[in-house]
Structure 1
Amino acid sequence: MPRKAKESFTRPTPAALASKIRTLTPTMTRSMQRVAEAVAGDPAGCAALTVTGLAERTGTSEATVVRTARVLGYPGYRDLRLALAGLAAQQRSGRAPALTTDIAVDDSLPDVVAKLAYDEQQTLADTAAALDTVQLEAAVTAAAGARRIDVYGIGASGLVAQDLTQKLLRIGLIAHAHVDTHLAVTNAVQLAAGDLAVAITHSGSTRDVIEPLRVAFERGATTVAITGRPESAVTQYADHVLTTSTARESELRPAAMSSRTGQLLVVDCLFVGVAQRTYERAGPALAASYEALAHRHR
């Protein structure tokens, strides 16, 4: 019988909360944005408030506060309060991630370079903080033992899918990147238990990526989702979810561009883990590929 889609709930750590707020606030309703902006601006003060108190402070309802907590990845407001207390403690120690400044049209190139470099560094730190190493370990195990690995991605995520497959091919694994949904689905039909399917989508709602993952999931393949939205539709068909962060979205740098930094970090972590796990095969394969490339430049 085909497997049923599962529900997922991954609570962000306090270190990842600031990143979640930056990433998800633009997708919220205006009333939820007021709650998110309040907790981002004063986590210590909000952590001391009851759900009723925060609703009154933001001019919203208790239901809106609870919905905001759930969108940020917490089962309820109590869990969000605990994370806010942890974030406040990090801020006092100087270890909390800061909100970055958007790039303006009239910024000088040195300012653009500085802002992008800061955002990239923060995205990597946020992604590392949010990445569930238990889920990563499970994904590494599945990839290391897979008969075949299919990776799905569209647009900017398609470039990341190709990057992952090129890495896996260099250590002797059978891997394919699919950036066309029709080919992805027709190939997913051929998957079975012992195979691995990986979907890469920052929004978690890209239908061209969700559909082949759903097919692979129902065929019995192990499935992994790499996404910036751990409660999104794609995770319903993922056995393992690897969460990414993203730099602050702006007019000049939409999420599709900024999300790649976090995705590439996760892909590198997955690849290195697989290479370690299969080193007896991966080591000679990497050496052979280096030699082949070096030979071309002689």
Structure 2
Amino acid sequence: MQEWVSARAADATLGPAASRVVDILATQPRLASYASTAELAERASVNVATVVRTARALGFEGWPHLRLELRNRYLTSLSARQLLAEEAGDLPLAAIRRDLENLETLAHTVDTGAIRAVARAIDRARRTVVLGSGTFAAPGVQLAHGSTSMGRDVLMERHFGTHLANTVARLGEDDCLVAVNLWWLPTQVLEAVRIAHEAGTTTCVVTDLRTSPLVAVADHVVVVPSEGVSSFPSVTAAMAVVHGILAELAQLGGDATRRAMERTETTWSRMGLFGESR
């Protein structure tokens, strides 16, 4: 955290007051990742306006955006055991409340233009490959399922190693790759996005770190909060973004999407996939 904050500050022109804010960010990351503007200002002995100016000097739109980055970086620095130790008490209720907080943060910080751009990229692509590993594959599964239900050629790549390599090798300029990555970044996911980007494929990333290495090779980036309870970050905000992409995709498709969904549901019915549920 100290190295990251110092690197950001090195490229900024900061006065004495702003430097005190930066010192708090570097030396007290847990406090900074949860503090309000007023709380951080009080701790640094500056006014609220100084905190906002410092955030902008470090390359962020404002304090909420910088705090989101700090929080996600702080949580990424913890092990699963340390994450578990962060919480106590009624964990199920704490998890629900945390997700509500994440969605509130998302509503105030998300770039809806980026969400629409991802939807347009999928809409225009010949085919789309979606990447996600472990727990964080869930939003990708939802994106692929919803998109294919609307008639789009979208594949959720579940197999890594040579299978993933072969899939990425076939991507070209008419295709799209969407990577959903929270917390730790698998090497194969990063390299797959790099290879696709070099091939001219439209690359889209949903991540919890604005400074993730994925951002440098992404055409469109959506940043989400991922703070969770217990051993794993939350995918609720990422799932909400996926639902936003799907809603935009449905609107882009218009009548063609409606007809495709009707064909999909007819096929489900003919294959007897669902019994009487009502």
Seen in structure 2, the aligned counterparts of structure 1 residues 191 and 75 have a Cα distance that, compared at 3 Å, is farther
Seen in structure 2, the aligned counterparts of structure 1 residues 227 and 176 have a Cα distance that, compared at 3 Å, is same
Please, which of 167, 172, 177 is the counterpart of residue 151 of structure 2? 172
Which residue number corresponds to residue 277 of structure 1? 252
C-alpha distance in 2 between matches for 1:137 and 1:126: 19
C-alpha distance in 1 between matches for 2:144 and 2:36: 43
Matches within 5 A, 1:32-51: 32-34=26-28, 37-38=31-32, 40-41=34-35, 43-44=37-38, 46-47=40-41
C-alpha distance in 2 between matches for 1:45 and 1:123: 20
Question: What is the TM-score of this pair, normalised by structure 1?
Answer: 0.66
1:120 aligns with 2:95: no
Seen in structure 2, the aligned counterparts of structure 1 residues 32 and 173 have a Cα distance that, compared at 3 Å, is same
Seen in structure 2, the aligned counterparts of structure 1 residues 159 and 41 have a Cα distance that, compared at 3 Å, is closer
String of CA shifts for 1:161-186, please: whole Å, max 9, x gaps. Answer: 22211111101111111132322222
C-alpha distance in 1 between matches for 2:246 and 2:188: 24
Q: Give the partner amino acid of 1:193.
A: E
Which residue number corresponds to residue 25 of structure 1? none
User: Structure 1: where are the runs of 5+ without partners?
Assistant: 1-8, 10-28, 55-64, 88-100
1:289 aligns with 2:269: no
3-state DSSP of counterpart to 1:200: strand
String of CA shifts for 1:106-163, please: whole Å, max 9, x gaps. Answer: x4xxx33322221121122222322211211211111111100001111112232222
Q: 1:204, 1:235 within 8 Å by CA — same for their partners in 2?
A: no
Q: 1:181, 1:212 within 8 Å by CA — same for their partners in 2?
A: no
1:219 aligns with 2:219: no
3-state DSSP of counterpart to 1:223: strand
Displacement of 1:35: 5.4
Which residue number corresponds to residue 143 of structure 1? 122
Seen in structure 2, the aligned counterparts of structure 1 residues 35 and 191 have a Cα distance that, compared at 3 Å, is closer
Matches within 5 A, 1:222-237: 222-237=202-217
C-alpha distance in 2 between matches for 1:231 and 1:86: 12
Q: 2:131, 2:180 within 8 Å by CA — same for their partners in 1?
A: yes
Which residue number corresponds to residue 262 of structure 1? 237
C-alpha distance in 1 between matches for 2:24 and 2:165: 37
C-alpha distance in 2 between matches for 1:85 and 1:254: 23
Displacement of 1:42: 5.6
Displacement of 1:36: 5.6
3-state DSSP of counterpart to 2:62: helix
Count of aligned pairs between the two proteins: 227
Q: 2:177, 2:202 within 8 Å by CA — same for their partners in 1?
A: yes
3-state DSSP of counterpart to 1:280: helix
Seen in structure 2, the aligned counterparts of structure 1 residues 137 and 197 have a Cα distance that, compared at 3 Å, is same
C-alpha distance in 2 between matches for 1:163 and 1:86: 26
C-alpha distance in 2 between matches for 1:199 and 1:233: 12
Seen in structure 2, the aligned counterparts of structure 1 residues 291 and 102 have a Cα distance that, compared at 3 Å, is farther
Which residue number corresponds to residue 153 of structure 1? 132
Q: 2:130, 2:157 within 8 Å by CA — same for their partners in 1?
A: yes
Q: Give the partner amino acid of 2:177.
A: A
String of CA shifts for 1:196-234, please: whole Å, max 9, x gaps. Answer: 101111136321211111111010010001100111111
Percent identity between matched residues is 20
Q: 1:39, 1:46 within 8 Å by CA — same for their partners in 2?
A: no
Displacement of 1:293: 3.4
Q: Give the partner amino acid of 1:290.
A: E
Seen in structure 2, the aligned counterparts of structure 1 residues 43 and 281 have a Cα distance that, compared at 3 Å, is same
User: Structure 2: where are the runs of 5+ without partners?
Assistant: 1-7, 9-22, 67-84
Seen in structure 2, the aligned counterparts of structure 1 residues 166 and 39 have a Cα distance that, compared at 3 Å, is closer
1:76 aligns with 2:51: no
Which residue number corresponds to residue 186 of structure 2? 206
Question: What is the TM-score of this pair, normalised by structure 2?
Answer: 0.70
